[in-house]
Amino acid sequence: MAIIVDKNSVILVQGITGKQGSFHTSQMLAYGAKVVAGVSPGKQGQTVHGVPVFDTVAQAVEMFPITASIIFIPAPGVKDAAFEAMSAGIKTLVIITEHVPLHDELDIMAYAEKQQVTIIGPNTFGIISPGQTKLGIMPNSIYTPGPVGVVARSGTLSYEIANQLTQNGLGQSTVVGLGGDRVVGLSFTEVLAKFEQDPATKAVVLVGEIGGNAEEEAALYIKEMTKPVVAFLAGSSAPPGKRMGHAGAIIERGKGTFQSKVTALTAAGAKVAALPWEVAELVRQSMGE
Amino acid sequence: MKLYEYMGKDILRREGIPVPRGQAFLSPSGVADFAAQLPGIVVKSQVLSGGRGKAGGIKFPASAMEAEAAAQELLTSLVKDLPVHAVLVEEKLKIDREYYLAITVDGGKRKPLVIASAHGGMDIEEVPEEQIIKFHVDVHAGIQPYLGREVARRMGLPVSEVKPFSDLLVKLYHLFRKYDAELVEINPLVVSDGKLIAADAKITIDDEAAYRFPEWLPRVEERTDLELKAAEIGISFVELAGDIGVMANGAGITMATLDMINHFGGSPRNFMDAGGGAGTEATAKALEILLSTNPKVILVNIFGGITRCDDVARAFSQVKESIGISVPLVIRLVGTNEEAGIEILRQQGMSAYRNIEEAVAKAVELAGEAR
C-alpha cells in the first residue's frame, strides 16, 4: 500500500516536450512509473522517450485510463494546464512548476475543491511511493520501500531526511512534497490523515519550517493519531520572521515561529529532532525497535 | 513587492476608493506651493515600514513654510533605520472614527481573507481577537455587496456608513484580484465628516505576477546590490552578519544548513539558495558573489536532485582556475552524478564530504581558526 499514488497509477505528463518535462519523464520511466502519454499543444504525433504526445488532455484521456497528471509547464501557463486536466476528469495533479502567481493558485485550489481533485504543489518535488511509482523530480536512488511516511514542505531537505532513513535501514511508504508556496493543494493535516489510514505506514516524519501555521495545525491532528510522528523543522536560527504587515500578524497571532511550532508538536506527542541526523534514530525508537 | 503609501493610494484612487488630497515629493521643492492649497497639512515620510508615526516619521506643520521645512527634515533623516524615499504631503483630515480593513491570502485555507475591525488606528495587533472580524472569500463567488453589509453589521457601523463601506469593500476586493495583491490594508480607514476615506494604504503585490503588471505600475526595489546581482542569475540570496559563506540548493536545506552552523557555534555570512537545477555558469557566478563578501570560510551543501553534482564541481573548478578561491572551501556533495563531481574536484586538488555533519563541523572549526 501507499498513499495517493501507487504502482497502478496511470500517468500523464503535461509539458512533456520541454527540457524538464522530457528529462524527468525519462527518470520516471526508469523508476518504473506508468507514464503513458504526454501533452504539448501543437506537438501531437511526436513521441518523447517512447511516450506518445497529444495536443490536448482530453485526447490523451480518451486514449488511456489516466489517473494522475504531472505538470512541467512554465508558470504563466500553469493555471490553464491545471484547469484543463481537472476538466478532463483527472483526480490527482502534481504541479512541479515554481513561481506560479498567488492568485492563479487561489483559482486552481478553488476549482480543485469543487471537482474533488487532489493537488500536490505547486513548487513541489512531487510524490514517490518507493518501489512502486514516482511523479516528481527527486533523485531515484535515495528511496527504499518500507514503513515510514514522509511529508515535507521543502524538497532538498526531504532528500536529506529520506537518505538518512534509507541509510539507517528505514524504508518509506510514500514521500510527499506539499510545495513551498503560500497556497498549495495539500496540507500536512490532510497527508497525516492519509498516512494514519494507510496500513503500510507505521510511523510518519514531518519536515517543516518556520512561517505560516501549518505545523501548529498539524499538531492538532497529531494529538488524535495512533501512529508515532517525528518532526524536523528548519529555521531554528532564523531571526524573528519578516511579517507581511499587520494582516499577517493578525492571522498568525504568535504562531509561525520555530519555538511555537516545536511547542505545539511536542505537546501533541510528536518527537522533534534538533538536527537532521537525529531523525532516523527517533523514528526507530518511536516504532519500538 | 511592497508599494510605498503614495503608490498604494494612487491605485486606490484609480479604483474609486476615496483618499485624502495629496502629492508625493522627492525633494522639498514645490512642497510649500502645494501645501498652501490645503486647509490643514500632514507630511508623511515614505518608507516601507509600519510604525512611522511613533518613530517621528509623520509631521503636522502649521503652515506651508513649515511644511517645506518638515519635508526637508524628513527627506534627510532615517525613519525606522530606513532612508526616506519621498514625502507625501496631504490634506489633514478631521477624524471622527478609525476603522481597520484588509484583504490578504490565508494560505492554510487557500482563500482570500477579509479582516475588519471597528477598532482601527495604531496597534491593531493589540486589538483583542473578538473585536476582529474575519471572512474567507470564495474566489468563484467573489465579494458581493451583501458581504460588505454583513461585515458592517458585525463591526457595528451606523446605518449611514453601511452602504459606503460595502461599496468600498467590493472595490477593494476587485483591486486585490486585479493587481495580484498579497495584501491590501487600509489602516486607518477614517470617518471624516461622515465620509469613509483611506488615510493610509499598504499594498503588497505578488512578484511572481510581474509579467502581467500594468506598464505604469512603478517597480520598488528593496534588495541590496549583491542580492539583485544574485537574483539576476536566479539565485535567492540574503546577506547576514556572520563569517561563514553558505551555498546550498533549496530554501529548506539552506535554512537547515544555517541552523547546523549555529548548532556548532558558527555564524553564517549569508543565506544563498542556489535553487534546483543551477548549472555550471550560475553556480560559478554564485561562488564569485560569495567570495566578494569576504567570508572566513565557504561551506557548500549540495544534495543533487535536479541539480547535477558534476555541474557544481565544474563550476568550482572553473572559478579556481579563473580568479582563484582565496578562502577555505568546505564542500558537501551528494546525489545526482556524485562520482563524476568528486572526480572533477579531485583533479583540482579539492575534496568533498558526503556527510553533512562532518562538513558543517569542519567549516565552523576553520572559521574559528581564521578569526
pLDDT at A250: 66
Domain identity same for A111 and A217: no
CATH number for the domain that contains residue A51: 3.40.50.720
pLDDT at B54: 87
A179: left (phi over 0), alpha (psi -120 to 50) or beta: left
pLDDT at B251: 87
Task: Please check whether residue A125 lies inside any domain of the structure.
Answer: no
Cβ contact A161:B252 at 8 Å? no
Residue A20 counted as an annotated binding residue: yes
Contact A110 B110 (CB under 8 A): yes
Give chain B's mean pLDDT. 93
Nearest to B357 among A113, A154, A277 (CB): A277
Structural domains in chain B plus CATH codes: 21-91 (3.30.1490.20), 97-218 (3.30.470.20), 225-370 (3.40.50.261)
Domain coverage including residue A50? 10-120
Domain identity same for A77 and A51: yes
Cβ contact A79:A107 at 8 Å? yes
Nearest to A244 among B129, B183, B304 (CB): B183
In chain A, which residue's Cα lies nearest the Cα of B234? A99
Contact A238 B251 (CB under 8 A): no
Instruction: Compute CA A96 distance to the chain's CA centroid, rounded to the nearest angstrom.
Output: 9
Handedness of CA A26, A28, A34, A39 (dihedral sign): negative
d(CA A112, CA B347): 52
Cβ contact B368:B338 at 8 Å? no
Residues of B in contact with A261 (CB under 8 A): none
Task: Please check whether residue A44 lies inside any domain of the structure.
Answer: yes
| Known active-site residue A49 | no
Domain identity same for A95 and A170: no
Q: What is the largest CA-CA distance in chain B?
A: 80
Domain identity same for A281 and A150: yes
Domain identity same for A273 and A151: yes
Give the least confident one: B34-38, B59-63, B118-122, B152-156.
B118-122
- pLDDT digit string, tens, across residues B232-252: 888 889 888 899 999 999 888
User: Which cell goes with B36?
Assistant: 498652501
Give the containing element (helix H, strand E) for A272: strand A271-273
d(CA B209, CA B198): 26
Per mean pLDDT, which of A239-248, B219-228, B265-274 is the most reliable? B265-274
Backbone phi, psi, residue A10, to 5°:
-110, 120
Q: What is the largest CA-CA distance in chain A?
A: 57
Contact B255 A209 (CB under 8 A): yes
d(CA B229, CA B371): 28
- Show which of A120, A147, A176 is a domain's final residue: A120
d(CA B148, CA B20): 22
A&B contacts, CB < 8 Å: 174
pLDDT at A239: 67
Task: Please check whether residue A68 lies inside any domain of the structure.
Answer: yes
- Of the residues A237, A257, A259, the best mutation for testing chain B's interface (the one with the most B CB atoms within 10 Å of its CB) is A237
pLDDT at B370: 83
- Of the residues B5, B202, B213, B253, the best mutation for testing chain A's interface (the one with the most A CB atoms within 10 Å of its CB) is B253
Residue B215 counted as an annotated binding residue: no
Task: Please check whether residue A133 lies inside any domain of the structure.
Answer: no
In chain A, which residue's Cα lies nearest the Cα of B48? A245
Domain identity same for A153 and A253: yes
Q: Place B213 in a pLDDT band, splitting at 50, 70 and 90.
A: very high
pLDDT at B239: 87
For chain A, residues with pLDDT lower than 70 are: 239-254, 289
Helix A78-87 crosses helix A102-115 at what angle (to 10 degrees)?
A: 0
Is residue B60's pLDDT more than 70?
yes
Sequence-distant (6+) residues with CB within 8 A of B359 are B299, B301, B330, B331, B332, B353
Q: What total of structural domains would you count in chain A?
A: 2
Domain identity same for A72 and A143: no
Domain identity same for A146 and A268: yes
pLDDT at A252: 67
Specify the DSSP class assigned to residue A80: H
Task: Please check whether residue A1 lies inside any domain of the structure.
Answer: no
Q: How far is B97 from chain A (nearest CA, A)?
A: 19
Q: How far is B110 from chain A (nearest CA, A)?
A: 6
Rounded to an integer, the average pLDDT of B85-112 is 96
Task: Please check whether residue A126 lies inside any domain of the structure.
Answer: no
What pTM, to 2 d.p., does this model score?
0.93
d(CA B322, CA A113): 54
The separation between the first and the last C-alpha atoms of chain B, rounded to the nearest angstrom, is 38
Residues of B in contact with A125 (CB under 8 A): 305
As to burial, measured by CB atoms within 10 angstroms (0-12 exposed, 13-18 middle, 19+ buried), residue B53 is: middle
% of residues, chain B, pLDDT over 90: 78
Contact A155 B252 (CB under 8 A): yes
Domain identity same for A95 and A154: no
Task: Please check whether residue A36 lies inside any domain of the structure.
Answer: yes
Domain identity same for A247 and A183: yes
Rounded to an integer, the average pLDDT of B24-48 is 96
As to burial, measured by CB atoms within 10 angstroms (0-12 exposed, 13-18 middle, 19+ buried), residue B42 is: buried
Nearest to A103 among B185, B187, B206 (CB): B206
Residue A98 counted as an annotated binding residue: yes
CATH number for the domain that contains residue A274: 3.40.50.261
Is residue B215's pLDDT more than 70?
yes
Nearest to B252 among A157, A214, A275 (CB): A157
- pLDDT digit string, tens, across residues B162-212: 999 999 999 999 999 999 999 999 999 999 999 999 999 999 999 999 999
Domain identity same for A14 and A76: yes
pLDDT at B81: 87
User: Which cell goes with A14?
Assistant: 503535461
Task: Please check whether residue A130 lies inside any domain of the structure.
Answer: no
% of residues, chain B, pLDDT over 70: 99
Cβ contact B154:B162 at 8 Å? no
Domain identity same for A109 and A165: no
- Show which of A120, A149, A177 is a domain's final residue: A120
**Going along chain B, which residue ranges are E strands?**
22-25, 41-46, 58-59, 78-79, 82-83, 86-91, 97-106, 111-117, 133-136, 181-192, 195-198, 202-205, 236-239, 244-248, 270-273, 297-304, 329-335
Contact A157 B261 (CB under 8 A): no
Sequence-distant (6+) residues with CB within 8 A of A211 are A235, A241, A256
- Show which of A88, A120, A152 is a domain's final residue: A120
Cell numbers 511508504 correspond to A173
- pLDDT digit string, tens, across residues B304-321: 877 889 999 999 999 999
